[in-house]
């Protein structure tokens, strides 16, 4: 075993357990768990920004809401500046989702397992 490992080792998809139902292979891999954790933390973050009694945003934003609004405005301005088209905001939800997915997936949770 060498000290130096491949930099591509972090992208290996390793099965944790698999279930075979005839021709259907339902495997739970490290990527599935990471995707579920990212979705869970994203939902917790976004739902923590609303008031519980009437499901509206706070008039005076809290810290997390301010951070999300700053990131939102930053990505929106990047999209509208780089896609010089009147329909450039149609691409915004996709780019915003990819930004958060990549941002959260950079937390290398499962490489130490």
Over residues 39-61, the pLDDT tens digits come to: 888 788 777 777 677 766 667 77
Structure tokens at 59: 């008039």
Q: Backbone phi, then psi, for 50, in 5-degree steps?
A: -105, 155
Secondary structure of residue 59 in the 3-state scheme: coil
- Tell me: pLDDT of 113 over 50: no
- Tell me: pLDDT of 6 over 80: no
- Tell me: pLDDT of 23 over 80: yes
Contacts of 32 (CB under 8 A, 6+ apart): none
CB 76 within 8 A of CB 92: yes
What pLDDT is recorded for position 55?
Answer: 66
- Band the pLDDT of 105: cuts 50, 70, 90: low
User: What ranges in 48-106 are assigned the alpha helix state H?
Assistant: 63-82, 92-105
Between 107 and 29, the higher pLDDT residue:
29
CB 93 within 8 A of CB 76: no
What ranges do the domains of the chain cover?
Answer: 7-105
Q: For residues 57-86, give the mean pLDDT.
A: 80
Tallying the residues shown for the chain, one arrives at 113
């Amino acid at each position: 075993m060498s000290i130096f490992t491949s930099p591509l080792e972090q992208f290996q998809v390793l099965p944790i357990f698999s279930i075979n139902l005839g021709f259907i292979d339902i495997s739970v891999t490290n990527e599935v768990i990471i995707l579920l954790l990212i979705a869970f933390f994203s939902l917790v973050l976004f739902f923590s920004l609303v008031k519980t009694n009437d499901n509206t945003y706070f008039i005076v934003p809290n810290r997390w809401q301010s951070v999300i609004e700053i990131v939102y405005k930053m990505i929106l301005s990047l999209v509208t500046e780089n896609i010089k088209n009147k329909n450039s905001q149609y691409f915004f939800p996709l780019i915003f989702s990819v930004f958060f997915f990549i941002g959260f997936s950079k937390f290398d949770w499962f490489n130490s397992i």
